[in-house]
Structure formats: structure tokens, C-alpha cells
A and B are shown apart, each in its own frame.
Chain A
């Protein structure tokens, strides 16, 4: 299988997982908020393919794509969303706080800027131990407005740390447009911190994203310097939940269509046909596993507080 096809499979798998969640959601079996990655799978698969298992990844609550792209287990994923004891975190995390330490997915936070500093500390550890790895913080465009983003850029550049900040720019923070929120130009801002920056205008272009991040990663493990990649992308669904919200007046369906009509996970019918069945079977199995798993009992409530 060509590498592109491998990545396509991974991205389609995330898409189909999200679609299954949409199907299940009205049943109230997933009793927590979900922030779907639909529309934003491609670039995550692209950059995650350039990482090794020992490269750590920290993400925000929009965590389904990074969890799966980094190699998180699908059965544990559904069990976690169902609030079952076989979930990764025994149901205590839910959709917003996925993690998979075995494959270097070190957590996802609903405090979106916070994880940049968590990645910063991980990158410091890599540097002082002389390891050949990088750490990735995947945030949205909104998180760049947090003070901690600027604090982290400063420290990462000052101490030459191998941290890669991937900004998924879907142009929206909840329902607020980027032009209503930001006065700065990211390129100029990063220039002030002497941090290299790549802007990817098409988040669907998995192949280029993979090739470019592979090169960036190789440079980073040699030079121990921070890097920022901005991925232009588009959120198909509402900020939270499984609904379309084009009737709410804050964005136009036209924008969605511009992306959707050229979305490879929609248009590449031959590959979709080829992979669909296998993925569907895996999802069925994972959902069944989650259904059959038990709910956590009372003794779990006070466990792991300290």
C-alpha cells in the first residue's frame, strides 16, 4: 500500500468513527460533550505519520483525531466515551480528556492553552536528556490568544527546545471569527521570538503535510529548536455536539461546501470503497466491546485523587 493510502485509511477511520458517534449520540449512551474532528482529520494524520511512538503529543478537547492518529486503541476509546470501566481512564476522562500513554499521547485538556506548557516541560526533558525526539502541542487558533502561548514561545526559543506547535486554524473559536479576536499576524509574532513557521493553506493535503513535517522533525531533533505549523482547516460540525449549525447565522454553508466538495474523504470513492468494510467491522467490534463493558463502581470515585 502506498503511504498515501495508509494515511487515507487512517483519516477515513477517524471520519467513520465520528460518523458512528453522530449515529449513537441521540441514544444518550455517550453522556458527555463531544467536540468532533470531522473535516479536520487529514492534517492530523499527516503530521502524526511523521512522528515516532516516542514523540509525545498533547492536545485539546477536540481530541478524537489526534488520539486515533497517534495510535490510540479504538475499543478503549469507545468504552471511555460510554463511561465504562474498560475505558482508557475508566470513564473518568470521557471525550474531552483522552490519552494513550503507551503510544505517546499524553493527554488532552479542555483548558486549551495549558497543554502548550505541558509540551514545553516534556521538550525540556528531551533536551536535557539528549534524546532524539520532539514533542507536539496541537492547539486551535483560539489558543494562540492565551497568554501562556506567548510565555511558551519565549521559553522554547530562549532554551532551544524541540517543541512543535501545530495550530489547527479552522477560523472559529466556538462561534467567534478569527478577525473578531486577533490583531496579530502569526508570522510576524513568531518572527519576534525567532521561531520558524510554516503555513499550510490546505489542511487536506496529507501528502505534503507528511513530507514537510518529516523534514521539520528531522531538523528539530538535530537543532533542538521550536517550530510552529499552522494548518488551515474547516470544522464541519457545531463547536460541541453532533449537529450542523449553518442556520445559526455565524457562518455560511457556502464555506462548508467549498471544503466539503473537494474533501478526499468524500471524493475519493475508490479508496473509500476499498477500506470502508474493514473499518466498519473494526468500529462495530469496538462499539460492541464498549456496550458490553461494565460501568465503574462507587469505589472508583475516590481512587487516584492523590
Chain B
């Protein structure tokens, strides 16, 4: 069995993009330095040349607008941001120009492009290096937002986006996923891009998850299955702006109980959106109120003790599964111990 990390999948996807699509450009901060943007762009400048792979000045506004003119001229820009927080400096171009260029001109133009933004997390990344801003982008008609949760998602979605998609796509990669190892055999068969996936089937509780929360949900579901035989169904939203609504409603019709697990804040975010989808389509399928996993409603603190309160983990998900399954919050069940969590994920040491 051969293995592939999330990081390796991105590196392959970037190289494939430059190879398969001769119009593609890869640019951003740290793209050509010795770090190769966390190892995802190493060697690309040497292989494909400095015209196609280049560093940028610290000019997110101009370099995002640059993509418009490049795309209008048949190039395929891949603009990478070391931290998705920096995308806020691109917001004007993304929202006012890129999202609207096709619509505003009545279909005269198309802006095919990919923006990669990385969500930092843990080890003191603090308030401006760790935000999950998917909801801000997903709110805007014209922007497609994906959050690949596995190596396969990365490979399938990036291949589709770079070679077939004619519109702007924003991909938010979770930094903590980078060292997750996946079986590479799983990556062989292609799945549909820009939609949601069933990660595992179950009949008791549904979890609709995004990004790293898909992994956390899998860990939580293993725990409750081992201890209580609870069968959890997990849906990986993957494309935040184009969730498979039918898939979500069918799953919740079956289980009647749903947890939405996101890396962002809950209000006006992914949790709110999934709850909206269920409430406006088939509220009667719910046998219990929807539960949410999201960040504490505060900026991310730097101190480790506070950070641990800020981020929910598999233990919080286990707690909610029990609450839904047993129909009460004080279910009295043991949650996974620190040692159990350590075993299921070697705790991140940093720095990064």
C-alpha cells in the first residue's frame, strides 16, 4: 500500500497544472524560495521558467487584479496566499471585479483562475494567521469556494478546476491537513469535482463537515463505534458554494440527527448555511435540533491554554454525537481521553 500526504498531493497538482495547462501561471509569496510554499511549489520555477512561476511583491490587491487581465488574455492564473488572512487584501478585486466580470458584462468575458489560501492553525498562529474565511467568499455570487479535505479531493478538484472550469475558484487548504497521510490507491478513481462526498455511511447520526473537520469527524466516529456501536454518516462538503443538497437531505432523512462541523465561526457561516438548507427544504426530517461545531466567537488567541478552548476537536464532536444519540446533553458517557486523542493524531509540534 503506497501512501501520499495532503502536501504531496498539492505539489503534484501544481506540477500537473503547469504541465497539462500550458497557459497556467503559479505565483505568490514564497513560491520560488527554499520553502516552496510549504513544499507545494518546490522546483517549479526551474522546471517551467520564471515567466510562469514567480514571486510577487507584497501587493495582494494588484496581483489579484493582475489575474483578471491575464485570464482575459487566455492565461490561467494560480495565485497562492501563504495565509488566507492575506486574501482580505484581495477582497476588493475578488468581490468587485473577479466575481462579477462574467455577469456584469453579460457573458462577454470569463475569468478562469484558481486562488489558493492556506488556513494556519495551532501553535500560536494568533488572530491574523489562523482565520477560516470561507464564509466571506462563499457569500458572493460568482465565487466558487472549495475546501479539499483529502489528497484525493485535492487531486480531483484541482485537475478539474485548472483544466476544465471557466470561472474563478478559491480553495482554502487547512495547514494542519498538510501532514495527513492518505492511501494513494484511493486517489486513482476520479470523483466529481466541485461538489460534496459521502466519506462513510451510517444510520444513527449525520455529520456534515468541511476541511479538517472531516478528519476530526472520522476520528470521533471511530471512537463512538468502538465504544457504543454508533454508526455515523459523514458528508464532506468539499465545495462550500455548491453543496450536494440532495445528499445532505437524504442522509438527514435517514438519521434524523445532524451535526455541522466547520473550521470557521458559526453565525453567518457554513453551519448557518447547512442549517438553512435543511430548515428551508425539509425541517420535518429533523428528530432533534441541529448541533454545531465551530470556533469560539472570538478572534483566535495566541496562548496555548486559550487556543485549546478556542478550537473544538474530536472530543467535542464525540460529545455532540452522544448528546444526539442518547437525546440529552448530560449523557454521562466518557469522552476520549487526552491519551486517546494523542494516539489518533500525533500532536502538532510547530513551528510553521
- Residues on A lying within 8 angstroms of B by beta carbon are 56, 58, 87-93, 97, 99, 101, 106-107, 109, 111, 114-126, 128, 135, 147-148, 151-152, 154-155, 158, 303-306
Q: Does B59 contact A (CB under 8 A)?
A: yes
Q: Does B196 contact A (CB under 8 A)?
A: no
The answer for the CA separation of A38 and B62 in the assembled complex, in Å, is 30
Tell whether A125 pairs with B105 under 8 Å between CB atoms, given A111-B92, A148-B61, A148-B62.
no
* Cross-chain contact A87 with B68 (CB below 8 angstroms): no
* Cross-chain contact A116 with B65 (CB below 8 angstroms): yes
Among A88, A89, A124, A126, max chain B CB count under 10 A is at A124
Q: Which residue on chain B has the smallest CB distance to residue A300?
A: B106
* Cross-chain contact B106 with A305 (CB below 8 angstroms): no
Tell whether A90 pairs with B106 under 8 Å between CB atoms, given A118-B69, A121-B69.
yes
Q: Which residue on chain B has the smallest CB distance to residue A102?
A: B108
* Cross-chain contact B69 with A303 (CB below 8 angstroms): no
Q: Is the interface of A mostly helix, strand, loop or mixed?
A: helix
4 A-B pairs closest in CB distance: A117-B65, A121-B69, A89-B106, A151-B62
| Complex contacts, A93 vs chain B, CB 8 Å | 104-106
Q: Does B103 contact A (CB under 8 A)?
A: yes
* Cross-chain contact A305 with B103 (CB below 8 angstroms): yes
Interface string of B84-110 (1 = CB under 8 A from A): 000000001100110001111111110
| Complex contacts, B104 vs chain A, CB 8 Å | 89, 92-93, 97
The answer for the CA separation of A111 and B96 in the assembled complex, in Å, is 7
* Cross-chain contact A151 with B57 (CB below 8 angstroms): yes
Interface string of B263-274 (1 = CB under 8 A from A): 000000000000
* Cross-chain contact A123 with B93 (CB below 8 angstroms): no
Q: Does B150 contact A (CB under 8 A)?
A: no
| Complex contacts, B72 vs chain A, CB 8 Å | 56, 106, 118, 121-122
Q: B93 touches which one: A117, A135, A306 (CB < 8 A)?
A: A117
Q: Does B13 contact A (CB under 8 A)?
A: no
Which of B73-81, B174-182, B308-316 binds A? B73-81
* Cross-chain contact A304 with B107 (CB below 8 angstroms): yes
How near does chain A come to B59, taking the closest CB pair, in angstroms? 4
Interface string of B43-55 (1 = CB under 8 A from A): 0000000011000
- Residues on B lying within 8 angstroms of A by beta carbon are 51-52, 56-57, 59, 61-75, 77, 92-93, 96-97, 101-109, 141-142, 144, 167
Q: B68 touches which one: A118, A154, A304 (CB < 8 A)?
A: A118
| Complex contacts, A120 vs chain B, CB 8 Å | 62, 65-66, 69
Q: Which residue on chain B has the smallest CB distance to residue A146?
A: B61
Q: Which residue on chain A has the smallest CB distance to residue B107?
A: A304
Q: Which residue on chain A has the smallest CB distance to residue B67?
A: A121
The answer for the CA separation of A99 and B97 in the assembled complex, in Å, is 14
| Complex contacts, A122 vs chain B, CB 8 Å | 69-70, 72-73
| Complex contacts, A158 vs chain B, CB 8 Å | 57
Q: A306 touches which one: B52, B68, B142 (CB < 8 A)?
A: B142
How near does chain B come to A75, taking the closest CB pair, in angstroms? 15
* Cross-chain contact A125 with B62 (CB below 8 angstroms): no
* Cross-chain contact A154 with B103 (CB below 8 angstroms): no
The answer for the CA separation of A58 and B97 in the assembled complex, in Å, is 13
* Cross-chain contact A155 with B66 (CB below 8 angstroms): yes
Tell whether A155 pairs with B59 under 8 Å between CB atoms, given A89-B106, A99-B108.
yes
The answer for the CA separation of A125 and B59 in the assembled complex, in Å, is 19
* Cross-chain contact B97 with A155 (CB below 8 angstroms): no
| Complex contacts, A119 vs chain B, CB 8 Å | 69
| Complex contacts, B142 vs chain A, CB 8 Å | 305-306
| Complex contacts, B69 vs chain A, CB 8 Å | 56, 58, 106, 117-125, 135
How near does chain B come to A67, taking the closest CB pair, in angstroms? 12
The answer for the CA separation of A122 and B96 in the assembled complex, in Å, is 18
Q: Which residue on chain B has the smallest CB distance to residue A131?
A: B73
| Complex contacts, A114 vs chain B, CB 8 Å | 65, 92-93, 96-97
| Complex contacts, A99 vs chain B, CB 8 Å | 105, 108-109
* Cross-chain contact A92 with B101 (CB below 8 angstroms): no
| Complex contacts, A128 vs chain B, CB 8 Å | 51-52
The answer for the CA separation of A120 and B67 in the assembled complex, in Å, is 9
* Cross-chain contact A151 with B61 (CB below 8 angstroms): yes
* Cross-chain contact A88 with B106 (CB below 8 angstroms): yes
| Complex contacts, A123 vs chain B, CB 8 Å | 69
* Cross-chain contact B62 with A152 (CB below 8 angstroms): yes
* Cross-chain contact A107 with B109 (CB below 8 angstroms): yes
The answer for the CA separation of A154 and B104 in the assembled complex, in Å, is 29
* Cross-chain contact B73 with A148 (CB below 8 angstroms): no
| Complex contacts, B59 vs chain A, CB 8 Å | 148, 151, 154-155
